[in-house]
Amino acid sequence: MLYAILCYAQEDAVSSWTKDQDDAVMQRLAVVQEKYARAGKLGPVARLLPTTAATTLRQVRGETLVLDGPFAETKEQLLGFYTVNCDNLEEAVAFARELCAANPSGGGYEIRPVGVLNPVAATL
Amino acid sequence: MSDISWIDPLVAAARPQAVAALLRYFRDLDLAEEAFQDACLRALKNWPQNGPPRDPAAWLIFVGRNAAIDMVRRRSKTAPLPDERVLSDLEDAEAALVERLDGADYRDDILRLLFVCCHPDLPATQQVALALRIVSGLSVKQIARAFLVSESAMEQRITRAKARIAAANVPFETPGPVERAERLGAVAAMVYLVFNEGYSASGGDVAMRIPLCDEAIRQSRLLLRLFPSEPEIMGLTALLLLQHARSRARFDADGAVVLLEDQDRGLWSAKMIAEGLALIDKAMRHGRPGPYQIQAAIAALHDRAARAEDTDWQQIDLLYGALEAMQPSPVITLNRAVAVSKSRGPEAALAMIEPLEPKLSGYFHYFGVKGGLLMQLGRHDEAREAFCRAIALANSPADAAHIRMHLDRLSTPAA
């Protein structure tokens, strides 16, 4: 079974960490990840850019609205995610718009730029 | 995570919201600060034992409010205040408060707190000092170091600024849309001022200045979270990130200035550049360009160039042109001239800046740029004269040393 493990934390506190604190956390996470990477079990790991860089598409009365900021509703749950390599936000929005059109759930899609892929490998 | 150093970021992140809410309760900056201080002390005792609360801001507001009510009561000893929930009820009260904070207009609280720091009655240096003290919570000692003044002088400056604010009487009613937009504009300018104070390194302790840039970025991100659809706030945040990304490459080991074209681009922060570029991308979708967005776009063109010679100077020239049309200023024209010198040559650039001289006769960079252009044109005597004027106007030893290097280069062949 392939599992997705999602990381949640208080963003403004994490972004207030000093570089040393941030590096120390990354190091500790690296130790954990390495174990699973060596066993050939670890897939891609991503550290996302802050939610201030997020854009959200919502379906409201059959219309797709593009809004700034993260997906803020709490009555919906996270059901899946995509990673897609786009030239710019415009292209990512177009992709998410197609997803909205194909998906009658009435929910939404949050677009978050990926800061670093496999950040632990990047810091080592 | 029980290590006490992890409490600092939590408190720092909660500070603007907590102090802003306490200011609304007490309508007194000193009391709000004192209340927050008191709550922090309690947090230092309580959080390592019980773990940090789910919502640190709500905890600090609640505890701070009770502490301040206590203080007021002890000081005045007049009519007792209405019953307050005691600290033992903290859990319930916290939950209720969180609910109120979530739905409520804490956005306007924070904007008000930032706005009092940049009140038009305050001179720029006082605005920056006050924002660093009140919003960022830097100590008077730290701020004094950054400004290279004594602690008591800085204390006085901040006290004076607070007195002016109290006299100015910023209203506590929820602002209307026009007023809110005006406040946002003033606050954005103040955040940029804080950043430039850190970035310009015009004297003061360099080690103390980088944190000013970090603080400005933090304030800018905070504004963006409060006003997620404002393209100019996206632009401001992007601008700060894209400039700060180069900070490690801007000075060499001896503290000498390294010009953009000579910087080791490997030292630039890829993380900050990625975030800055993502924000510009987001801002552009709104199709409402503004000065911060244009300046961010210019910074992005520099950051995107893998080598200095890959810089798209023509595009930078065009962007400065757009900025000039929006905000005519001789300093912007001067910056544009630098781009022009790269795309159209030094002669065209010199022709562009010469009419600016009466307005910029006291500006270090004007004579630095002019000297550089004259040097490129082989007009060495005039270049020397311009460089000498620049040195006389330099704000920092590093700036003066940099110009002196040019002067030395000019005199070597002649000698």
- Residues in contact with B85: Cβ distance below 8 Å, sequence separation at least 6, in sequence order: B66, B92, B93
Query: Mutate which of B285, B286, B293 to test chain A, going by most A C-beta atoms within 10 A?
Result: B285
Identify all chain B residues contacting A49, using CB atoms and an 8 Å cutoff.
274-275, 278
Which run of H or of E encompasses B393? helix B380-393
- Cα separation, B211 vs B221, in Å, equals 15
Whether pLDDT at B187 is above 60:
yes
Smallest CA–CA separation between B54 and chain A, in Å? 9
A9 touches chain B (CB under 8 A): no
- Cα separation, B373 vs A30, in Å, equals 51
B225 touches chain A (CB under 8 A): yes
Q: Among the listed ranges A38-42, A55-59, A119-123, B180-184, which one has the minimum average pLDDT value?
A: A119-123
A13 touches chain B (CB under 8 A): yes
CB-based contact A116 B271, cutoff 8 Å: yes
DSSP B181-206: HHHHHHHHHHHHHHHHHHHS--SS-H
Question: Mind listing the pLDDT tens digit for each residue in A49-68?
Answer: 999 999 999 988 888 999 99
Reported pTM = 0.86
- pLDDT (mean) for B372-393: 94
CB contacts under 8 A, B 250-279 vs A, are 271, 274-275, 278-279
- Cα separation, A15 vs B295, in Å, equals 24
Identify all chain B residues contacting A73, using CB atoms and an 8 Å cutoff.
none
pLDDT confidence band for B414 (50 / 70 / 90): very low
CB contacts under 8 A, A 33-92 vs B, are 49-53, 55, 66-69, 88-90
Domain extents for chain B? 4-104, 107-226
* Residue among B9, B14, B274 whose CB faces A49 most closely: B274
B172 touches chain A (CB under 8 A): no
Tokens of B270: 């890829």
Smallest CA–CA separation between A49 and chain B, in Å? 6
- Cα separation, B412 vs B410, in Å, equals 6
Question: Mind listing the pLDDT tens digit for each residue in A9-24?
Answer: 888 889 888 888 898 9
Q: Which comes out higher in pLDDT, residue A105 or B367?
A: B367
Identify all chain B residues contacting A115, using CB atoms and an 8 Å cutoff.
271, 274-275
- Cα separation, B384 vs B405, in Å, equals 11
Question: Mind listing the pLDDT tens digit for each residue in B335-377?
Answer: 999 999 999 999 999 999 999 999 999 999 999 999 999 999 9
B407 touches chain A (CB under 8 A): no
Tokens of B267: 């030292």
ipTM: 0.88
Mean pLDDT of chain B: 86
- Residues in contact with B117: Cβ distance below 8 Å, sequence separation at least 6, in sequence order: B127, B130, B131, B134, B135, B190
Whether pLDDT at B105 is above 50:
yes
pLDDT value for B3: 67
- Cα separation, B315 vs B305, in Å, equals 12
Query: CB of A17 within 8 A of CB of B7?
Result: no
pLDDT confidence band for B90 (50 / 70 / 90): very low
Smallest CA–CA separation between A1 and chain B, in Å? 31
- Cα separation, A11 vs A17, in Å, equals 10
Side-chain-facing half-sphere of A109: CA atoms under 13 Å:
23
CB-based contact B279 A55, cutoff 8 Å: no
- Cα separation, B9 vs B57, in Å, equals 12
Buried b (16+ CB within 10 A) or exposed e, A38-62: eeeeeeebebbbbbbbbbbbbbeee
Q: Are strands A63-68 and A55-60 parallel, antiparallel or unpaired?
A: antiparallel
Q: Is B396 exposed, middle or buried (0-12, 13-18, 19+ CB in 10 A)?
A: middle
Nearest to residue A14, comparing CAs of A122, A119, A124, A121? A119
Domain extents for chain A? 48-115
Q: Which comes out higher in pLDDT, residue B208 or A43?
A: A43
Tokens of B329: 């200023």
DSSP B319-344: HHHHHHHHS--HHHHHHHHHHHHHHT
Query: CB of B371 within 8 A of CB of B383?
Result: yes
CB-based contact B9 A21, cutoff 8 Å: yes
- Cα separation, B360 vs B113, in Å, equals 35
Query: CB of B226 within 8 A of CB of B111?
Result: yes
Q: What angle do CA B201, B223, B14 make, to 5 degrees?
A: 90
- Rounded to a whole number of angstroms, the CA Rg of chain A reads 17
CB-based contact A50 B281, cutoff 8 Å: no
Cα B22 to chain centroid, rounded: 23
pLDDT confidence band for A121 (50 / 70 / 90): low
- Cα separation, B380 vs A56, in Å, equals 57
Q: What residue has token string 């901040």?
A: B158
Query: CB of A49 within 8 A of CB of A69?
Result: no
Mean pLDDT of chain A: 89
